[in-house]
Amino acid sequence: MRPYGIFLQQPNLEGAPMATSLNTTSTDAMALRHAFVSMLFALVIAEIAIQASNLVAVASNEWATKSVLTVLRDVPSPGGWLMLAPMSHLLLVFVLISMSWVGWSRSIERGGSRDIHQIFSIPFLLLLIELLLVVLYFILARSVELHTKDAPPVTISRPSSIPEAWWITVIFLGYVIWDIFNDALPRYYPKDKRPLAGNPFLSWLIVLAFGFVARCWVSLVCAGAACLVLWRSGSPSQTPLQVVFADLALLCVVVWFWMAKSWEPLVENLIPWEKNRERGRHFEESSIALRASAVVLIPIYILFLALM
Protein backbone atom coordinates (compact mmCIF):
# COMPACT_ATOMS: atom_id res chain seq x y z
CA MET A 1 0.00 0.00 0.00
CA ARG A 2 1.20 3.48 -0.77
CA PRO A 3 1.47 5.64 2.36
CA TYR A 4 -0.11 9.02 2.17
CA GLY A 5 -0.71 11.74 4.68
CA ILE A 6 -1.61 15.33 5.36
CA PHE A 7 1.44 17.52 5.34
CA LEU A 8 1.83 20.35 7.81
CA GLN A 9 4.15 23.29 7.36
CA GLN A 10 6.60 23.56 10.28
CA PRO A 11 9.55 25.88 10.55
CA ASN A 12 13.02 24.28 10.63
CA LEU A 13 15.96 25.62 12.51
CA GLU A 14 16.75 28.15 9.76
CA GLY A 15 13.18 29.46 9.54
CA ALA A 16 12.33 27.77 6.22
CA PRO A 17 9.10 25.74 5.99
CA MET A 18 9.46 21.98 6.19
CA ALA A 19 6.84 19.32 5.32
CA THR A 20 6.14 16.59 7.89
CA SER A 21 3.77 13.66 7.48
CA LEU A 22 1.08 12.57 9.89
CA ASN A 23 2.15 8.96 9.10
CA THR A 24 -1.31 7.95 8.02
CA THR A 25 -1.28 4.83 5.84
CA SER A 26 -3.89 4.03 3.22
CA THR A 27 -4.98 1.03 5.33
CA ASP A 28 -5.64 3.28 8.31
CA ALA A 29 -7.51 5.76 6.12
CA MET A 30 -9.69 2.98 4.68
CA ALA A 31 -10.43 1.75 8.22
CA LEU A 32 -11.50 5.27 9.23
CA ARG A 33 -13.69 5.53 6.15
CA HIS A 34 -15.27 2.16 6.92
CA ALA A 35 -15.92 3.21 10.53
CA PHE A 36 -17.44 6.53 9.47
CA VAL A 37 -19.86 5.01 6.94
CA SER A 38 -20.63 2.21 9.41
CA MET A 39 -21.79 4.76 11.98
CA LEU A 40 -24.15 6.23 9.40
CA PHE A 41 -25.56 2.78 8.70
CA ALA A 42 -26.02 2.36 12.46
CA LEU A 43 -28.06 5.58 12.57
CA VAL A 44 -30.41 4.19 9.91
CA ILE A 45 -30.81 0.92 11.84
CA ALA A 46 -31.55 2.97 14.98
CA GLU A 47 -34.27 4.84 13.08
CA ILE A 48 -35.80 1.52 12.00
CA ALA A 49 -35.78 0.39 15.64
CA ILE A 50 -37.53 3.61 16.70
CA GLN A 51 -40.18 3.19 14.02
CA ALA A 52 -40.69 -0.46 15.04
CA SER A 53 -41.17 0.55 18.67
CA ASN A 54 -43.69 3.19 17.58
CA LEU A 55 -45.57 0.53 15.64
CA VAL A 56 -45.70 -1.70 18.72
CA ALA A 57 -46.97 1.29 20.74
CA VAL A 58 -49.99 1.58 18.45
CA ALA A 59 -51.28 -1.78 19.63
CA SER A 60 -49.69 -1.88 23.07
CA ASN A 61 -53.05 -1.69 24.83
CA GLU A 62 -54.65 -4.44 22.74
CA TRP A 63 -52.20 -7.36 23.06
CA ALA A 64 -53.60 -8.58 26.41
CA THR A 65 -57.22 -8.95 25.30
CA LYS A 66 -57.02 -9.73 21.56
CA SER A 67 -55.22 -12.22 19.34
CA VAL A 68 -52.40 -11.14 17.05
CA LEU A 69 -54.56 -11.59 13.95
CA THR A 70 -57.34 -9.47 15.48
CA VAL A 71 -54.89 -6.73 16.39
CA LEU A 72 -53.45 -6.66 12.86
CA ARG A 73 -56.96 -6.50 11.40
CA ASP A 74 -58.73 -4.07 13.75
CA VAL A 75 -56.04 -1.70 15.07
CA PRO A 76 -56.35 1.23 14.80
CA SER A 77 -59.61 0.89 12.81
CA PRO A 78 -61.81 -2.25 12.70
CA GLY A 79 -61.26 -4.34 9.57
CA GLY A 80 -58.74 -1.91 8.14
CA TRP A 81 -55.57 -4.02 8.27
CA LEU A 82 -53.69 -0.73 8.69
CA MET A 83 -50.96 -2.33 10.81
CA LEU A 84 -49.76 -4.39 7.85
CA ALA A 85 -48.59 -1.43 5.73
CA PRO A 86 -46.01 0.01 8.17
CA MET A 87 -44.89 -3.53 9.02
CA SER A 88 -44.14 -4.30 5.37
CA HIS A 89 -42.44 -0.91 4.96
CA LEU A 90 -40.12 -1.62 7.90
CA LEU A 91 -39.34 -5.11 6.59
CA LEU A 92 -38.45 -3.67 3.18
CA VAL A 93 -36.14 -1.01 4.63
CA PHE A 94 -34.54 -3.47 7.04
CA VAL A 95 -33.68 -5.95 4.27
CA LEU A 96 -32.40 -3.15 2.00
CA ILE A 97 -30.13 -1.73 4.71
CA SER A 98 -28.83 -5.17 5.74
CA MET A 99 -27.97 -6.20 2.18
CA SER A 100 -26.47 -2.81 1.39
CA TRP A 101 -24.23 -3.03 4.43
CA VAL A 102 -23.01 -6.52 3.51
CA GLY A 103 -22.48 -5.56 -0.15
CA TRP A 104 -20.61 -2.37 0.73
CA SER A 105 -18.42 -4.15 3.30
CA ARG A 106 -17.51 -6.89 0.80
CA SER A 107 -16.66 -4.23 -1.78
CA ILE A 108 -14.27 -2.63 0.71
CA GLU A 109 -12.67 -6.00 1.49
CA ARG A 110 -12.13 -6.74 -2.22
CA GLY A 111 -10.48 -3.36 -2.74
CA GLY A 112 -13.52 -1.87 -4.45
CA SER A 113 -12.85 1.54 -2.88
CA ARG A 114 -9.79 3.57 -3.76
CA ASP A 115 -7.74 5.78 -1.48
CA ILE A 116 -8.69 9.45 -1.38
CA HIS A 117 -5.66 11.63 -2.02
CA GLN A 118 -7.46 14.76 -3.24
CA ILE A 119 -10.81 16.45 -2.78
CA PHE A 120 -11.40 16.85 -6.51
CA SER A 121 -11.01 13.19 -7.49
CA ILE A 122 -13.05 10.14 -8.47
CA PRO A 123 -12.52 8.39 -5.08
CA PHE A 124 -13.85 11.45 -3.25
CA LEU A 125 -16.86 11.56 -5.58
CA LEU A 126 -17.49 7.87 -4.83
CA LEU A 127 -17.42 8.64 -1.11
CA LEU A 128 -19.99 11.41 -1.63
CA ILE A 129 -22.23 8.97 -3.51
CA GLU A 130 -21.92 6.42 -0.71
CA LEU A 131 -22.86 9.03 1.89
CA LEU A 132 -25.78 10.21 -0.24
CA LEU A 133 -27.06 6.64 -0.51
CA VAL A 134 -26.98 6.24 3.27
CA VAL A 135 -28.93 9.51 3.59
CA LEU A 136 -31.51 8.10 1.14
CA TYR A 137 -31.75 4.97 3.30
CA PHE A 138 -32.52 7.20 6.29
CA ILE A 139 -35.19 9.09 4.33
CA LEU A 140 -36.72 5.76 3.29
CA ALA A 141 -36.82 4.63 6.92
CA ARG A 142 -38.56 7.89 7.88
CA SER A 143 -41.25 7.43 5.22
CA VAL A 144 -43.14 4.84 7.29
CA GLU A 145 -46.72 6.01 7.97
CA LEU A 146 -46.23 6.47 11.72
CA HIS A 147 -46.63 9.84 13.39
CA THR A 148 -45.82 10.65 17.01
CA LYS A 149 -48.27 12.99 18.75
CA ASP A 150 -49.19 13.92 22.31
CA ALA A 151 -52.56 12.18 22.27
CA PRO A 152 -52.72 9.49 21.10
CA PRO A 153 -48.94 8.83 21.33
CA VAL A 154 -48.59 7.25 17.85
CA THR A 155 -50.97 7.23 14.90
CA ILE A 156 -50.98 5.46 11.53
CA SER A 157 -51.68 7.70 8.57
CA ARG A 158 -53.23 6.64 5.27
CA PRO A 159 -50.86 4.06 3.76
CA SER A 160 -49.26 4.50 0.36
CA SER A 161 -46.44 2.73 -1.48
CA ILE A 162 -45.50 5.80 -3.52
CA PRO A 163 -42.76 7.11 -1.15
CA GLU A 164 -41.07 3.71 -0.91
CA ALA A 165 -41.26 3.05 -4.66
CA TRP A 166 -40.00 6.56 -5.44
CA TRP A 167 -37.02 6.48 -3.08
CA ILE A 168 -35.99 2.94 -4.02
CA THR A 169 -36.02 3.99 -7.67
CA VAL A 170 -33.74 6.91 -6.79
CA ILE A 171 -31.49 4.59 -4.76
CA PHE A 172 -31.02 2.21 -7.68
CA LEU A 173 -30.23 5.13 -9.97
CA GLY A 174 -27.63 6.09 -7.36
CA TYR A 175 -26.22 2.58 -7.71
CA VAL A 176 -25.99 3.16 -11.48
CA ILE A 177 -23.99 6.35 -10.96
CA TRP A 178 -21.71 4.60 -8.45
CA ASP A 179 -21.12 1.71 -10.89
CA ILE A 180 -20.21 4.16 -13.65
CA PHE A 181 -17.58 6.00 -11.63
CA ASN A 182 -16.26 2.93 -9.84
CA ASP A 183 -16.14 0.43 -12.72
CA ALA A 184 -17.33 1.59 -16.14
CA LEU A 185 -15.13 4.62 -16.86
CA PRO A 186 -12.48 4.12 -19.58
CA ARG A 187 -9.82 5.23 -17.09
CA TYR A 188 -9.96 1.69 -15.64
CA TYR A 189 -9.15 0.17 -19.04
CA PRO A 190 -5.54 -0.10 -20.33
CA LYS A 191 -5.06 2.33 -23.20
CA ASP A 192 -2.87 -0.06 -25.16
CA LYS A 193 -5.65 -2.68 -25.20
CA ARG A 194 -8.56 -0.47 -26.24
CA PRO A 195 -10.33 -1.12 -29.57
CA LEU A 196 -9.85 1.30 -32.47
CA ALA A 197 -6.57 2.63 -31.12
CA GLY A 198 -6.26 4.92 -34.15
CA ASN A 199 -9.30 6.94 -33.09
CA PRO A 200 -8.89 7.79 -29.37
CA PHE A 201 -12.28 9.51 -28.95
CA LEU A 202 -14.28 6.73 -30.61
CA SER A 203 -12.28 4.16 -28.67
CA TRP A 204 -13.09 6.03 -25.42
CA LEU A 205 -16.82 6.03 -26.26
CA ILE A 206 -16.84 2.31 -27.10
CA VAL A 207 -15.08 1.37 -23.86
CA LEU A 208 -17.47 3.58 -21.87
CA ALA A 209 -20.58 2.19 -23.60
CA PHE A 210 -19.62 -1.45 -23.16
CA GLY A 211 -18.45 -0.81 -19.62
CA PHE A 212 -21.83 0.78 -18.88
CA VAL A 213 -23.66 -2.26 -20.27
CA ALA A 214 -21.47 -4.80 -18.48
CA ARG A 215 -21.23 -3.08 -15.09
CA CYS A 216 -24.51 -1.15 -14.74
CA TRP A 217 -27.23 -3.32 -16.30
CA VAL A 218 -28.34 -4.94 -13.02
CA SER A 219 -28.85 -1.58 -11.30
CA LEU A 220 -30.69 -0.23 -14.37
CA VAL A 221 -33.05 -3.21 -14.51
CA CYS A 222 -33.84 -2.84 -10.79
CA ALA A 223 -34.47 0.90 -11.20
CA GLY A 224 -36.91 0.09 -14.00
CA ALA A 225 -38.63 -2.60 -11.90
CA ALA A 226 -39.02 -0.18 -8.98
CA CYS A 227 -40.36 2.43 -11.39
CA LEU A 228 -43.05 -0.06 -12.49
CA VAL A 229 -44.11 -0.40 -8.85
CA LEU A 230 -44.21 3.39 -8.62
CA TRP A 231 -46.42 3.54 -11.72
CA ARG A 232 -48.76 0.90 -10.28
CA SER A 233 -48.91 2.82 -6.98
CA GLY A 234 -50.49 5.87 -8.60
CA SER A 235 -54.05 5.00 -7.53
CA PRO A 236 -55.31 7.43 -4.85
CA SER A 237 -57.44 4.67 -3.31
CA GLN A 238 -54.74 2.16 -2.41
CA THR A 239 -55.82 -0.32 0.25
CA PRO A 240 -53.40 -1.48 2.98
CA LEU A 241 -53.19 -4.92 1.32
CA GLN A 242 -52.26 -3.34 -2.02
CA VAL A 243 -49.54 -1.40 -0.25
CA VAL A 244 -48.24 -4.63 1.27
CA PHE A 245 -48.13 -6.27 -2.17
CA ALA A 246 -46.24 -3.24 -3.49
CA ASP A 247 -43.70 -3.53 -0.67
CA LEU A 248 -43.30 -7.24 -1.38
CA ALA A 249 -42.71 -6.47 -5.06
CA LEU A 250 -40.05 -3.93 -4.06
CA LEU A 251 -38.57 -6.48 -1.69
CA CYS A 252 -38.27 -8.90 -4.62
CA VAL A 253 -36.42 -6.18 -6.57
CA VAL A 254 -33.99 -5.56 -3.70
CA VAL A 255 -33.24 -9.26 -3.21
CA TRP A 256 -33.01 -9.82 -6.98
CA PHE A 257 -30.43 -7.05 -7.23
CA TRP A 258 -27.99 -8.84 -4.97
CA MET A 259 -28.71 -12.20 -6.61
CA ALA A 260 -28.33 -10.89 -10.16
CA LYS A 261 -24.92 -9.42 -9.35
CA SER A 262 -23.66 -12.98 -9.87
CA TRP A 263 -24.73 -12.65 -13.53
CA GLU A 264 -22.44 -9.71 -14.26
CA PRO A 265 -19.35 -11.85 -15.01
CA LEU A 266 -21.42 -13.65 -17.67
CA VAL A 267 -22.15 -10.38 -19.46
CA GLU A 268 -18.54 -9.29 -19.09
CA ASN A 269 -17.33 -12.54 -20.67
CA LEU A 270 -19.65 -11.97 -23.63
CA ILE A 271 -17.84 -8.70 -24.38
CA PRO A 272 -14.23 -9.46 -25.40
CA TRP A 273 -12.90 -6.04 -24.44
CA GLU A 274 -14.22 -6.25 -20.87
CA LYS A 275 -11.73 -8.99 -20.02
CA ASN A 276 -8.96 -6.39 -20.01
CA ARG A 277 -10.66 -4.02 -17.59
CA GLU A 278 -9.26 -3.55 -14.10
CA ARG A 279 -10.76 -5.69 -11.32
CA GLY A 280 -12.57 -8.04 -13.69
CA ARG A 281 -14.87 -10.49 -11.95
CA HIS A 282 -15.07 -14.24 -12.34
CA PHE A 283 -17.70 -16.87 -11.73
CA GLU A 284 -17.95 -18.51 -8.33
CA GLU A 285 -19.40 -21.92 -7.65
CA SER A 286 -21.87 -20.36 -5.22
CA SER A 287 -23.11 -18.08 -8.01
CA ILE A 288 -24.98 -20.93 -9.70
CA ALA A 289 -27.56 -21.17 -6.90
CA LEU A 290 -27.88 -17.37 -6.81
CA ARG A 291 -28.52 -17.15 -10.55
CA ALA A 292 -31.15 -19.90 -10.34
CA SER A 293 -32.86 -18.18 -7.39
CA ALA A 294 -32.88 -14.89 -9.26
CA VAL A 295 -34.77 -16.52 -12.13
CA VAL A 296 -37.37 -17.92 -9.70
CA LEU A 297 -37.82 -14.50 -8.11
CA ILE A 298 -38.92 -12.85 -11.38
CA PRO A 299 -42.42 -14.45 -11.60
CA ILE A 300 -42.93 -13.81 -7.88
CA TYR A 301 -42.27 -10.11 -8.51
CA ILE A 302 -44.71 -10.13 -11.43
CA LEU A 303 -47.37 -11.77 -9.22
CA PHE A 304 -47.05 -9.11 -6.49
CA LEU A 305 -47.07 -6.39 -9.15
CA ALA A 306 -50.35 -7.76 -10.54
CA LEU A 307 -51.93 -7.97 -7.07
CA MET A 308 -51.28 -4.28 -6.32
- Tens digit of pLDDT for each residue in 19-48? 434 344 566 666 777 788 888 888 899 988
Higher pLDDT, 210 or 196: 210
Say if residues 90 and 144 touch (Cβ distance below 8 Å).
yes
Dihedral over Cα of 275, 277, 283, 289: its sign: negative
Determine which of 99-108, 136-145, 175-184, 185-194 has the lowest per-residue pLDDT on average: 185-194
Strands 17-21 and 7-11: antiparallel
Q: At CA 128, angle to CA 123 and CA 134, rounded to 5?
A: 130
In terms of average pLDDT, the best of 75-84, 179-188, 195-204, 295-304 is 295-304
199 vs 15: CA distance, rounded Å? 53
Q: What is the pTM of this model?
A: 0.78
Determine which of 29-33, 146-150, 184-188 has the lowest per-residue pLDDT on average: 146-150
Cis amide bond preceding 76, omega within 30: yes
Mean of the pLDDT values across residues 244-270?
A: 87
- Identify which of 170, 186, 176, 281 has the alpha carbon closest to the alpha carbon of residue 230: 170
Q: How confident is the model at residue 10 (pLDDT cuts 50, 70, 90)?
A: very low
142 vs 80: CA distance, rounded Å? 22
Quick check: 143 pLDDT over 90?
A: no
CB atoms within 10 A of CB 59: 18
- pLDDT for res 23: 40
Please state, for a pLDDT cut of 70, what percent of the chain lies above it. Answer: 66
Q: How confident is the model at residue 122 (pLDDT cuts 50, 70, 90)?
A: confident
- pLDDT for res 2: 39
